[in-house]
Structure 1
Amino acid sequence: MIGRMRERVVAACDGASKGNPGPAGWAWVVADGSENPARWEAGPLGRATNNVAELTALERLLAATDPSVPLEVRMDSQYAMKAVTTWLPGWKRNGWKTSAGKPVANQELVVRIDALLDGRSVDFRYVPAHQVDGDPLNDFADRAASQAAKIQEQAGSALGSAEPPPSPDTPKPGTKPGSAKSGGARRKSAGTRQGGASSSRTIKAKFPGRCLCGRSYGAGEPIAKNPQGWGHPECRTAEAAGQAG
């Protein structure tokens, strides 16, 4: 547990799934007073989705930190953050059903996180993933989760593990996001409609959304960046945008 003398603990957590679903892993990292990684842990999940990995990372972080000390959690998962802040109160009121009357996905994890959040001060902060000058704690957690997903082994500072290797999804300085050299740096931020250069790269949608053509797409469906956001690969050209208007 973190010592009780500290006024606030700053931490980050992240999950990864190679295939969504596919080999998955989770990780969290706690910072020292200078916001440098001081303590961390990562672990495998076998085959799981990105959402399960993200929620598991948050659950493990909350369980590993002192509930009497205020906590700042930095995350790049809009889903996990909204699940436990925006959507959770409504789910509980509705008997763990969504507004559409469907059972809440990953309910067991959300219930455990809700219990761990009870009575403690936790400030959630969204940070974009895979940025050249991104948040170093989030980057560390991302790298650790990715490595755990790949090798399916436990790691962490308590085990004397080496710092996780650089992520291939983070562009090198001087490389435009989304370019071929960046290694597809927009993998995690696709569902959040972050700004950035257009790319011909096709990825799987992390969240449901609506294309500029007016048709919707579901989570897991292939999407591509177009001049006005994310949508169907066939709608990504400027010509398609003009026809849709």
Structure 2
Amino acid sequence: MSNETRPQVDMWTDGACKGNPGIGGWGTWMRSGGKEKEICGGEAHTTNNKMELQAVIEGLRLLKKPCDITLHIDSQYVMNGVTKWMKGWKRNGWKTGAKQPVKNKELWQELDAEVARHEITWVWVKGHAGDPGNERADALANKGVDITRAGL
């Protein structure tokens, strides 16, 4: 499929955790072709890094066909993991340069599979600095925390 025919998607993701580890939430807001979609969720016992990963995984998983995505993210952990570290982790059998197992390996592997379906431009944004999309994703992540807390 040529790039000209791929849907263009703007996506913002964020994770939140009340305690680390603690009750966590993730949120994703995306827009494409005049349409918008918000999703969120959470876990009762998790970490902020896991929620940051989950937000991206869930957003990408929602897309039914390959897309050109501009992904706005405030997590350098996730962005660097995909753009800088993952290739080496995979080459080393999901071990770090220090020969330690990669933390959150299963989530990284899920993310790797989702990323492979799309063309993604990664854009780091400073969290809680007024970026409207990031603020919306943060609100969704906190909604995920609240929904999870209410279900306990």
> TM-score under structure 2 normalisation?
0.88
CA–CA distance in 2 between the matches of 1:114 and 1:66?
16
Per-residue CA shift, 1:70-115, capped at 9, x if unaligned? 0111000110111122110000011110000000000000001101
Contact kept in structure 1, 2:28 and 2:137, CA below 8 Å? yes
Amino acid at match of 1:19: G
Match in the other structure for 2:140: 144
Identity within the alignment, %: 38
Q: Distance in 1 between matches of 2:92 and 2:17?
A: 30
Q: Distance in 2 between matches of 1:45 and 1:64?
A: 19
Query: Retained in 1: the 8 A contact 2:16–2:48?
Result: yes
Say whether the 8 Å CA contact 1:14–1:57 is kept in structure 2. Answer: yes
**Relative contact order (alpha carbons < 8 A, sep ≥ 6): 1 or 2 greater?**
2
Q: Could you tell me how far apart the structure 2 residues matched to 1:7 and 1:109 are? A: 25
Deviation at 1:67, TM superposition (A): 3.7
Structure 1 counterpart of 2:55, one-letter code: A
8 A Cα contact 1:18 1:150, kept in partner: no
Equivalent position of 1:76 in the other structure? 74
Letter in 2 for 1:24: G
Match of 1:60 in 2: 58
Report deviation, 1:5.
Answer: 6.3
1:102-141 equivalences under 5 Å are: 102-131=100-129, 134-141=130-137
Q: Is residue 6–residue 66 contact of structure 2 (8 Å, CA) maintained in 1?
A: no
Q: Which has the larger radius of gyration?
A: 1
Q: CA RMSD in A?
A: 2.1
Provide structure 1 residue ranges, at least 5 long, that are not aligned to the other structure: 155-245
1:15 aligns with 2:12: no
TM-score (ref. length: structure 1): 0.56
Q: 1:91 to 1:6 in 2, by over 3 A?
A: closer
After TM superposition, give the deviation of residue 59 of structure 1 in Å.
0.4
Higher helix content, 1 or 2: 2
Cα distance 1:101–1:147, how it changes in 2: closer, same or farther (>3 A)? same
**1:151 is aligned with what amino acid?**
I
Distance 1:126 1:54 in 2: 13
Q: Structure 1, residues 92-146: CA drift from partner, whole Å, max 9, x if none?
A: 0111100000000000000011011114201111000111xx2211110111101
Partner of 1:46: 44
- Cα 1:151–1:66 shift into 2, 3 Å: closer
- Partner residue, 1:25: 25
Aligned residues: 147
Letter matched to residue 45 of structure 2: R
* Structure-2 change in CA distance of 1:72 and 1:146 (3 Å): same
